[in-house]
Amino acid sequence: MKNKFLLSLVAVASMTINACGQFTNFPAQYHISDTSGLAATVSYPLATGTATTGEVNVKLPRLVVKGEPGSVGVTFDQMDVSYSVADITQSKSEISFRVNSSHFRDATGNVIVDGGSIDLPVISRSVIEYGRRQTSGNITARVTLSGTDEAGWPTSLQVNVPIVFIPGGTVTGGSTGSTP
């Protein structure tokens, strides 16, 4: 009786693995790439007397995620952002961020490791106003992405993003935007 039970467990496990076809890693397995630029900056205009000239410059952080070889892909559809200070309320938003599967091979037989990238919208009007009230410093945004992989498993990824406030200067490079 015990052997029949063990044999049935092995049969079910082998059917599950065979059902994955060319995928060997499920649920989805991925990592944050070292090419990510996970820092945000808010640069305020120079003050001249009592007035300020120019616009606020914002550099958003870029998250690059790579799949592990043989992994199924994943689609993140929810982003939650909370901040290290109580003055800024957390936000939830729907997103569409795809990390492609990493199971295809090139002409020489090497696995093509695929992934995806997204600019994380962690700078809101309230973050800009909070930074205006500070003389210097930074805060941290905790970003949680959640979604489902191609095998139907729920998955999530959490990253901490430093937000640096730069008074009276500008920031160059990366994803930038201007806010009046």
Spell out the domains of the chain, with CATH numbers in brackets: 24-172 (2.60.40)
d(CA 118, CA 100): 13
Helix (H, G, I), strand (E, B) or coil at 128: helix
Other beta carbons less than 10 A from residue 160's beta carbon: 10
Assess contact for 152 and 93: CB atoms under 8 A.
no
The type of residue at 139 is I
What are the tens digits of pLDDT across the range 52-73? 556 899 999 999 999 888 788 8
Assess contact for 96 and 114: CB atoms under 8 A.
no
Phi and psi at 98, nearest 5°, equal -110, 130
Helix (H, G, I), strand (E, B) or coil at 8: helix
Quote helix, strand, coil % in the chain, to nearest 5.
15, 45, 40
* Confidence (pLDDT) at 107: 80
Q: Please enumerate in sequence order all residues whose Cβ is within 8 A of that of 10, keeping only pairs 6 or more positions apart, or say none.
A: none
Tens digits of pLDDT across the chain (180 residues): 666 766 666 665 555 554 444 555 568 888 888 888 999 999 988 765 555 556 899 999 999 999 888 788 899 999 999 999 998 999 999 999 999 887 777 788 777 778 899 999 999 999 999 998 876 689 999 999 999 998 899 999 999 999 999 987 544 444 445 444
Assess contact for 96 and 75: CB atoms under 8 A.
yes
* Confidence (pLDDT) at 179: 46
